[in-house]
Amino acid sequence: MIQKIKNINKTTSLFSNISLGIITALLFSAFIYFEHYGFSFKIINTIFAITSLALFLYIPKKAVLFAGFFIGILWFYWIGYSFNYTGVGWMSPIVTFGFGIIYTLFFGILALTNKVYIRAILLFSLSYFQPFDWNWLQIELIFIDSYIGVFKYQLILVLMALTLPNYIKNQYRYYPLMLIFLAFNFYQPIQKDAPLKIKLVDTNVKQEEKWLRSSKYPLINQNLNEIQKAIDEGYDLVVLPESCFPIFMNRYSTVIDKLKNLSHKISIVAGTLYMENNKNYNVTYFFENGEFKIAKKMVLVPFGEYVPLPKFAQKFISDFFFDGQADFIQAKKPTDFIIKGVKFRNAICYEATCQELYDGDVDFMIATSNNGWFKPSIEPTIQKLLLEYYGRKNGVTIYHSANWSGTGIVK
């Protein structure tokens, strides 16, 4: 009988920890799904974000591990979808489970202690850590559509407000919660509008069709038609998505010549590929007044365009799991385009969500993406929230052209 009672207590404890973990993960992730389905409210996002951080500080150690696991799933279940296009679709559920494990370990550092102030310090430290160079989980992102700001000092204030009541035992115990009001978003850098009429092209090309030989020329013609349409509508600049031209552009002189001719009537930014010395680059071409400039991608996607592991493992993993597609070469620095006298920082997909691309004198950014790899999923929504996060922090207005959801001006 005693043993049965012990077993019941253990089961109850496990259920309690799993439940607390799931609740924490849901509160921490809710803002993404609210935004995705179009019913986001600042007050709800604020309450959920603060409560999720409080739970991380106070829940049992095992519950922290479950919270990390479910956050990994809720945020990144879609990453495995891209494996369907590299011949190893069976890896998709394994990759999804793997992200659950990665973020179990990521947040698991909090489970090393029950001391609230140490957990607060560790949680803040995690806001600087990027497992395998993957930076799409930013702790402050939970405040992006709330009344709290997204700067580090505001995260510190919230964590202090939630931590100090545990160490004050008198009638003033809950006064530190007032610090949360100091973390409100009273100020953010000014984001200006570029003084140009810009056409952002939104395409819906399926990833399984994009690289077919039979699709190549129809897609090229479709892009040329979009450019001509922008000319007819009186735009100064037209921006087409990442890899919208599914070719190594420098091997297609006839396409380049057509774009050069069109660029006398409109400035053109378009994504494609580039091969140099048998090395592959993900690039953006900029055409204006019959001339062109090439911008090579500086920050590559980990386990998508390169493998962030020791060299002895890189080739095997790239060939076996990514069909040799994770072998791109990166540029050494970001590229700026001067378009009709206005400077734009160029960013290709993932790198538009990396702080390196915002360093220096940047007011405007042209970002191009191909989100067809992850359709259908919340990926474009997370990307949009991250673009808002970096744009707001750096005072940059982002002009984003994407294939399969995400096109628009981000401020």
pTM recorded for the entire structure: 0.94
6 is catalytic: no
Which one of 244, 297, 305, 354 is the catalytic residue?
297
Residue 390 tokens, joined: 């970096």
The neighbouring-strand residues paired with 120 are none
Domain boundaries, the chain: 2-182, 198-298+333-410
Q: Per residue in 14-63, pLDDT tens?
A: 999 999 999 999 999 999 999 999 999 999 999 999 999 999 999 999 99
354 is catalytic: no
Alpha carbon dihedral 38, 39, 44, 50, in 10-degree steps, equals -20
Measured between alpha carbons, how far is 326 from 12 in angstroms, rounded to an integer? 46
- pLDDT score at 312: 61
Find where tokens 């091969």 sit.
Answer: 275
What is the C-alpha R_g of the chain? 24
Which one of 288, 296, 349, 354 is the catalytic residue?
349
Residue 154 tokens, joined: 């505001």
Single out the residue of 137, 207, 129 nearest to residue 382, CA to CA.
137
411 is catalytic: no
Q: What is the mean pLDDT of the chain?
A: 92
Q: Per residue in 334-388, pLDDT tens?
A: 999 999 999 999 999 999 999 999 999 999 999 999 999 999 999 999 999 999 9
The arrangement of secondary structure in 198-298+333-410, i.e. its CATH architecture, is 4-Layer Sandwich (3.60)
Q: Per residue in 110-146, pLDDT tens?
A: 999 999 999 999 999 999 999 988 999 999 999 999 9
Q: Per residue in 293-335, pLDDT tens?
A: 999 999 999 877 887 766 666 666 656 565 555 578 899 999 9
Q: Mind spelling out the 3-state secondary structure of 222-290?
A: HHHHHHHHHHHCCCCEEECCCCCCCCEHHHCHHHHHHHHHHCCCCEEEEEEEEEECCEEEEEEEEEECC
pLDDT exceeds cutoff 50 at 6: no
